[in-house]
Amino acid sequence: MQFLKRIFLFALTNILVMLSIGLLVFVLSRFFPALAGYNNSGTMALALIWGFGGALTSLMLSRVFAKMFNGVQLIDPRTATGDERWLVQTVYQLAKDAGITTMPEVGIWESPEVNAFCTGPTKNRALVAVSTGILSRMSKDELEGVLGHEISHAANGDMVTMTLVQGVVNSFVIFFSIVLSRLILRRGDDERDSGGGFGEYMLRNLLQMLLSLVAYVAIIAPFSRWREFRADKGGARLAGVDKMIGALEALADSHRLPQPPAADPSLAAFKIDNRSVAALFSTHPPLEERIAALRASRL
C-alpha cells in the first residue's frame, strides 16, 4: 500500500509540474514563434512515458538486473551453513527489527571488491547481496553494520524514491531537450527548417546529455548523498552505532581493504562505495563525514 501511495504522489507531482511547464512554454511561444505550431502536450506525454515509464520498468526489474549483472547467487535459508547461515540469519533479524514483514532475498557474488547492495521494487521484495571480498575481509560486527545500512535503505523505501526521482528528472530532461532544440534550430521563425531531421536529432541528444549532467550534479547526486546519511543512521539504530562506525572505518582503511574496480559500475549507486570520485559527482558522501555524523549523533 505504501509503495502504491509513493508512486501515486510522484506521478501526480510529475504531471502537475509538466503541466506548469506546458503553460510556461505556451507563454514563451508568444515571444519565440518557433515553439508555436507544435503539439507541446504530445511532447509532455512523450516525456512522461519515456522518463517516468522507463524508471518504473527499471525499478520493477531491479532485482533481476542486479542478479544478472553481478552474478549474484541466492542463498537457500533451509540449507545454508557456516558464514552463509550467519549472513541469512543476520539479514532476517535486522529486517524484522526494521519492520519488514517479508524477508529479503539474500545472495553472494564472487568478487574481491569490498561491497554490498540492496535493491528491489519494495521493502518486502528486496534483495540484499554481499561480495565474497567483504565476507572475507570484514569482521562479523563490521559486516552487521553494513547489513544494517542496506536494510535501512529497504525500510526507508530508498530504492523506490531514488528511482522515481530519476524518472521525474528524466521527464524534464527529455521535454526541455526537445523544446530547446526547436528554439535553437528555428531561431524564432515559424518556418520549417530544412536543416531539421538528423541535425535536430543530434542536437536533441547532445542537449539531453548536457541537461542530464546538470540534473545529476544538481539533484540526483545530492539526494543520493542525503539518503546515505539517513541509511547510516538507520544502520546505527539496527546494528548499533559502534558497529556502523566500525564498518565505515573498515571501508576507509584502504590499506586493509584495497578496492579493485567494481564488477559492474552501473550498480554502484546501490553500494557502499569507497572510490575517490569528484565530490559533485559522488553518490556517496566522504566516509570521514559519515563517520563524523555518526559520532556526533552520540552527543
Catalytic annotation, residues: 150
Q: 130 - beta bridge partners?
A: 108, 116
Rounded Cα gap, residues 98 and 123, in angstroms: 10
Sheet holding 116-119, edge to edge: 73-74, 105-109, 127-131, 116-119
Torsion angle in degrees (nearest 10) through CA of 66, 161, 167, 129: -10
**Phi and psi, residue 197, nearest 5°:** 65, -120
Strands 116-119 and 127-131: antiparallel
Amino acid at 222: P
Largest CA distance in the chain: 73
Q: Which of 156, 144, 154, 151 is nearest to 245 (CA)?
A: 144
What is the DSSP track for 184-196?
HHHTT--SPPTT-
